[in-house]
Amino acid sequence: MPFGLGPTPLTYKIAPMSDNFAANFESPSPERLSFWAEQANQLAWHKPFTKTLDWSNPPFAKWFEDGQINASYNCLDRHVLGGKGDKTAILFEGEPGDTQTYTYSELLAETKKAANALLDLGIVAGDRVAIYMPMIPETVIAMLAVARIGAVHSVVFGGFSADSLRSRIFDAGAKLVITADGGFRKGKAHPIKEAVDHALQDNSCPSIEHILVVQRTNSDVALSDKDIWWHEALAKAAPEHEAVGFDSEHPLFILYTSGTTGKPKGILHTTGGYLTGASYTHRTVFDLKSETDVYWCTADVGWITGHSYVVYGPLANGVTQVIYEGTPDSPNFERWWEIIAKYKVSIFYTAPTAIRTFMKVGRAVVDGHNLSSLRILGSVGEPINPEAWQWYHEVVGGSKCEIVDTWWQTETGSIMISPVPHTMKTKPGSAQRALPGITIGIVDENGSPVISSAEGSEAGYLTIDQPWPSMLRGVWGDPERFIETYWSRFPGKYFAGDGARFDEDGDIWLLGRIDDVIKVSGHRLSTAEIESALVEHHWVAEAAVVGAKDEITEQAVVAFVILRQDELGDAPNEEEIGKVLRSWVTEKIGAIARPRQIMVVSELPKTRSGKIMRRLLKDVAEGRPVGDTTTLADSSVMKAINDKLHNGATD
């Protein structure tokens, strides 16, 4: 059975591949394999593995295949049994200022009850459970409870709209949603359950049997007969639950992420390899001293960074960590720095967007706090510009902390490129080196390695050239897409979708996405997905979306739309139309995808074969002179767009 699944087998069919295809893949050396076996053996296995890697059917890897393991056991029971039960696991800081502490024993006790509550609801190994929650301890408990019984979680970021939630629940065929009445954001109780009700209305996701609702804000919520309060379910559940081992390749979670096409893809990670990657990189990149460190990663668990570096990596390594519910500016921009000082955080991991926001606000909000506990500062999600790096180093780190700029992706499961603290001199703006165990390449258009010399190298495409334990195992329900997206562009190599170059020292500089994926405040969005949301509106005939450079958020969404004159009726003026469409995108995808600007145009620049030339639109959106228009079918189109822009008729 594929992936060693339990009672709900996946319908994964392995696409037929020619002998030639498989022959392109490199196999890791025996030394590389023993390196990974050694890392995996730092985890507790219910049944030890004897085979490190089966790479006989690439790109379908099987790591530690004959071993059995339980992720929840590794994050909890192992520490409690090892005498660390009284150690603090979570220091929770709610946005309104409420706090809560969980020791490893307490976290285990709650997780056991939650696991039993899930079993009481009929959830069994292999079932999918959607989690749509604020950043509170129950979210971590829910994930660990799902993993504990071998079910598969699909966490959906709480900022995604009801529509986005619906399509993800539907695609995964989830049986249960775990959610909350609300969460605190920007000083207010923000409803969450409402979006779940909206997503499930008219029985649009028939696979859903129940909804478990955590009480966080005490808001009034309408409970239907499928809804059950989390606290009531846990109060009724038996307190003991023994974690059994699952096959190493048993699915641990699905996480939807944006690609180049309109539909987000469910990235599948499995248990043993993923946990090996997350825990190894967490202890290596952050130079972890698990007895004394206080760790804080500001990512939401709705993203891969929250999965690997809030839940699985840190807990598998038994650290004490801070979890904060709210935004960095609630009630003001002092909040994060107060938290670091209060809990004496020593390792801090955040995104460049946040750093740039604070740079703009000014160093006074940071300077008033005692941040002397900090020793390692991490950055993730987008390239960190050297100015932001320097500011992070000096203002936050007091010029004494190591900075780790970590490159990786939802698909890679864990950090791939990063300096290792104290082993190399760090360099502002460069993620530098592949971690031990990882082989990175940069290739040109034809797949030939770019040559790095004393002057550095040309820009090329970033590839990963050998399998690694936390690699994605597939795209949920779509093996062809898995092969096509990641393994076909450059035969035998994993194609990441990023541009990169080597500098004169052989260090790697990331140059951003080369496809239609954009990064807004570190959040990954697809231009195609936003375009399809826009054309779903009856006013819109055609849409083209680009990511335009933004000082704070790295990129911002700018949309060009052609309206359907016959549908406009008594629609308001262009400015109002822009407002309506921006809210429409928020409703369809979520506030993170809301365009900064919508430009109404009468034509879009297209090649003779009908392809929209986004490059030219990007020039317009970024206020540059428009580049070469010779391949356009109608070269007057760009002039018309430019003229319109300069007349100021934008949203």
Rounded least distance, CB 385 to ligand WTA, Å:
10
Exposed e or buried b per residue across 16-38, where buried means at least 16 C-beta atoms within 10 angstroms of its C-beta: eeeeebeeebeebeeebbebbbe
Q: Strands 99-103, 176-180: parallel, antiparallel or unpaired by DSSP?
A: unpaired
Distance CA 27, CA 467 (A): 8
CB 216 within 8 A of CB 93: no
Q: Which is nearer to ligand WTA, 374 or 403 (CB)?
A: 403
In degrees, to the nearest 5, what angle opens at C-alpha 270 toward C-alphas 264 and 276? Answer: 120
Based on CB atoms, which residue is closest to ligand WTA, 4 or 314? 314
Nearer Cβ to ligand WTA, position 111 or 410?
410
The two three-digit tokens of residue 262, written as one number: 């309109």
Q: How far is CA 635 from CA 541, 619, 625, in A?
A: 21, 15, 14
Residue 419 Cβ vs ligand WTA, minimum distance, rounded to whole Å: 11
Report in angstroms how near the CB of residue 498 gets to ligand WTA at its nearest.
5
Tell me whether residue 74 or residue 409 sits nearer to ligand WTA (CB atom): 409
Query: What is the number of other CB atoms lying within 10 angstroms of the CB of residue 54?
Result: 16
CB of 384 to ligand WTA, least distance (A): 7
Taking the complex as a whole, the smallest distance from the CB of residue 309 to ligand WTA amounts, in Å, to 9
279 Ramachandran zone, left/alpha/beta (phi>0; psi -120 to 50): alpha
Calculate the dihedral angle through the C-alpha atoms of 41, 47, 51, 52, rounding to the nearest 10 degrees. -30
Q: Which is nearer to ligand WTA, 49 or 407 (CB)?
A: 407
Query: Between 257 and 553, whose beta carbon lies closer to ligand WTA?
Result: 257
Nearest approach, Cβ of residue 58 and ligand WTA (Å): 21
> 527-535 and 574-588 are packed helices; what angle lies between their axes, rounded to 10 degrees?
120
Q: List residues near ligand WTA by CB under 6 A.
A: 257, 303-305, 380-383, 405-410, 431, 496-498, 510, 513, 519, 524
- In one letter, which amino acid is 630? T
Tokens 């695609």 correspond to what residue?
171
Residue 614 token pair: 């986004």
Of 626, 630, 571, the closest CA to residue 600 belongs to: 571
Asked if residues 275 and 258 have their Cβ atoms less than 8 Å apart, the reply is no
CB closer to ligand WTA, 517 vs 604:
517
Give yes or no for a contact between 492 and 538, defined as CB atoms under 8 angstroms apart.
Answer: no
Q: Of 339, 289, 338, 333, nearest to 314 (Cα)?
A: 289
Distances (CA, A) of 480 to 252, 475, 486, 487, 536: 21, 9, 10, 10, 27
Q: Which is nearer to ligand WTA, 514 or 632 (CB)?
A: 514
Rounded to a whole number of angstroms, the minimum distance from the CB of residue 388 to ligand WTA is: 12
**Minimum gap (Å) between residue 487 Cβ and ligand WTA:** 16
Residue number, nearest CB to ligand WTA: 410
Least distance in Å: CB of 565 to ligand WTA? 39
Q: What's the min distance (Å) between Cβ of 178 and ligand WTA?
A: 22
User: Which of residues 405 and 531 has its CB atom nearest to ligand WTA in the complex?
Assistant: 405
Complex with ligand WTA: residue 175 or 524, whichever CB lies closer: 524
Q: Of 40 and 380, which has the nearer Cβ to ligand WTA?
A: 380
Contact 467, 58 (CB under 8 A): yes
3-state class (DSSP) for residue 376: strand
C-alpha pair distances (Å), 57 with each of 17, 343, 412, 483: 9, 48, 19, 12
Of 641, 651, 603, nearest to 619 by C-alpha is 641
CB nearer to ligand WTA: pick between 337 and 408: 408
Q: Kindly state the smallest distance separating residue 495's Cβ from ligand WTA, in Å.
A: 11
Residue pair 195/201 in contact by the 8 Å Cβ criterion:
no
